[in-house]
């Protein structure tokens, strides 16, 4: 009897030692950093709805976790099996299994950069959205075609043209188009803050008029110091009930009609559209692009000048004039004579690109 008791005691001791050794080994295993991929970084996409076992296998296949058993042990020790979140995850350094589980449980998904430059139209932004792999352009257009997000700012808006703020957004790859659009409108509200709204109101401009004017400024010049001058030209023309005569509005009209081929001819200036500011006086019906903060500021705070005209100097900047006679001289200097001299230059092969002049 005593012999059996001794054997049972020995087995119990062995069992306890084995359990302790196993626990120690398991703990050491899940805390050991591992990196089984040979690239600088590894991305793992975890779709919604899959369980821990499938997640673990994806991580093993990607070389992030040593084996499925190690992942199961890490999940068990962490107690976070139900917290694992879907998304795209980026790994670039060796991590222990517990850290991998913690990363996924926190939802520390990788965010890709989506950049919209100033002056893009809603359709052009949709194309960028698709080109960068975030989703279909059609989904972006659909989300941006509802004006509900700016109904309080612009009751006349029928879509979000002009209200999708251009900047760089850090987003998970699978962010829905509607969420991207909502963030862009939120950024617009932050940029066109109460101070700018008050300045617009003081100038007798509605939000829609201010944003429309800012979109013209954005399309006309990329030179920071010129924005207040261009805005002044248009504000002065508005005060005198003159036509804006802005080529970008004609281009926008042609784009909406699917008739723009990348070139603007004098015949195009006759195109019948309320957006054609050569045919219809005043501002166009709405924004023709998304302006940045600087153009919004210029629209509500133009330079204190009496300019009514400007013409391109063919280097991205413009020369401004207050009278038609002065403007005509500038046109001759910077357009007619300038291109005449270029065409005469031996071997230039240059032709007059048809730069506009007002």
Q: How many domains does the chain have?
A: 4
**Residues 347, 267 share a domain:** no
Greater model confidence, 119 or 264:
119
**Residues 223, 167 share a domain:** no
Share of residues in the chain with pLDDT > 90 (%): 75
Tell me if 50 is assigned to some domain: yes
Q: For 72-91, what is the mean pLDDT?
A: 92
Tell me if 1 is assigned to some domain: no
Per-position DSSP letters for 332-352, written without gaps between them: IIIIIHHHHHHHHSTT-----
Tell me if 7 is assigned to some domain: no
pLDDT number for residue 169: 97
Q: For 107-127, what is the mean pLDDT?
A: 96
* Cβ atoms 73, 100 nearer than 8 A: no
**Residues 152, 66 share a domain:** no
Q: For 108-123, what is the mean pLDDT?
A: 95
pLDDT in tens, 134-172: 999 999 999 999 999 999 999 999 999 999 999 999 999
The residue range of the domain holding 313 is 308-358
**Residues 337, 270 share a domain:** no
**Residues 65, 125 share a domain:** no
**Residues 204, 299 share a domain:** yes
**Residues 289, 202 share a domain:** yes
Q: In the beta sheet, which residues pair with residue 42?
A: 91
Rounded Cα gap, residues 287 and 162, in angstroms: 5
Mean pLDDT (the chain) is 88
Tell me if 162 is assigned to some domain: yes
Q: Which of 172, 191, 210 is the last residue of a domain?
A: 191
Q: Which helix (H) or strand (E) holds 111?
A: strand 111-115
* Cβ atoms 70, 27 nearer than 8 A: no
- In sequence order, the 6+-apart residues with CB closer than 8 A to the CB of 57 are 68
pLDDT number for residue 67: 92
Give the number of C-alpha atoms closer than 13 A to the C-alpha of residue 201, restricted to the C-beta side: 8
Give the number of C-alpha atoms closer than 13 A to the C-alpha of residue 229, restricted to the C-beta side: 17
Q: Is the pLDDT of residue 22 over 50?
A: no
pLDDT number for residue 10: 44
User: pLDDT confidence of 352, banded at 50, 70, 90?
Assistant: very low
Q: Would you state the structure tokens that stand for residue 62, as one six-digit string?
A: 């990607």
Tell me if 146 is assigned to some domain: yes
Q: What is the CATH number of the domain that holds 52?
A: 3.30.1490.480
Tell me if 339 is assigned to some domain: yes
Per-position DSSP letters for 254-305, written without gaps between them: HHHTT---S---TGGGG---TT-TTTS-BS-SS-SS---HHHHHHHHS--S-
Q: Is the pLDDT of residue 310 over 90?
A: yes
Rounded Cα gap, residues 273 and 267, in angstroms: 13
**Residues 78, 66 share a domain:** yes
Q: Cα dihedral sign for 278, 284, 287, 288? A: negative
pLDDT in tens, 240-251: 998 999 999 999
* Cβ atoms 70, 97 nearer than 8 A: yes
Q: Would you state the structure tokens that stand for residue 198, as one six-digit string?
A: 């008050």
**Residues 291, 321 share a domain:** no
**Residues 197, 233 share a domain:** yes
How many CB atoms sit inside 10 A of residue 86's CB?
17
**Residues 100, 58 share a domain:** yes
Q: In the beta sheet, which residues pair with residue 310?
A: 320
Rounded Cα gap, residues 317 and 310, in angstroms: 10
Rounded Cα gap, residues 217 and 64, in angstroms: 50
pLDDT number for residue 144: 97
User: pLDDT confidence of 338, banded at 50, 70, 90?
Assistant: low
Q: Is the pLDDT of residue 62 over 60?
A: yes
Q: Which of 303, 320, 336 is the last residue of a domain?
A: 303
**Residues 206, 145 share a domain:** no
């Amino acid at each position: 009897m005593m012999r059996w008791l001794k054997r049972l005691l020995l087995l119990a001791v062995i069992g306890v030692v084995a359990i302790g050794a196993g626990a120690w080994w398991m703990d050491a295993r899940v805390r050991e950093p591992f990196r089984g991929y040979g690239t600088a970084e590894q991305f793992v996409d975890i779709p919604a709805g899959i369980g821990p076992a499938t997640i673990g296998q994806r991580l093993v296949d990607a070389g992030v976790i040593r084996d499925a058993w190690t992942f199961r042990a890490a999940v068990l020790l962490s107690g976070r099996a139900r917290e694992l979140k879907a998304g795209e995850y980026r790994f670039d350094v060796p991590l222990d299994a517990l850290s991998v589980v913690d990363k996924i449980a926190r939802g520390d998904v990788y965010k890709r950069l989506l950049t919209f430059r100033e002056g893009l139209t809603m359709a052009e932004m949709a194309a960028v959205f698709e080109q960068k792999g975030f989703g279909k352009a059609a989904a972006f257009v659909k989300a941006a075609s509802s004006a509900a997000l700016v109904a309080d700012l612009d009751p006349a808006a029928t879509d979000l043209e002009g209200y999708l703020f251009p900047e760089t957004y850090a987003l998970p790859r699978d962010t829905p188009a509607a969420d991207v659009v909502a963030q862009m409108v939120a950024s617009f509200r932050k940029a066109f803050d109460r101070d700018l709204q008050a300045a617009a109101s003081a100038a007798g401009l509605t939000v829609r008029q201010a944003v429309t004017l800012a979109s013209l400024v954005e399309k006309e010049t990329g030179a920071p110091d010129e924005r207040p001058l261009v805005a002044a030209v248009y504000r002065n023309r508005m005060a005198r009930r003159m036509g804006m005569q802005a080529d970008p509005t004609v281009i926008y009209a042609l784009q909406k009609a699917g008739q723009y081929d990348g070139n603007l001819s004098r015949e195009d200036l006759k195109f019948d559209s309320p957006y054609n500011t050569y045919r219809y006086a005043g501002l166009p019906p709405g924004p023709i692009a998304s302006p940045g903060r600087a153009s919004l500021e210029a629209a509500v705070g133009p330079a204190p000048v009496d300019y009514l005209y400007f013409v391109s100097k063919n280097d991205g900047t413009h020369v401004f004039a207050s009278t038609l006679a002065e403007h005509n001289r500038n046109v001759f200097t910077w357009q007619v004579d300038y291109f005449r001299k270029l065409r005469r230059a031996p071997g230039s092969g240059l032709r007059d690109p048809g730069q506009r002049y007002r």
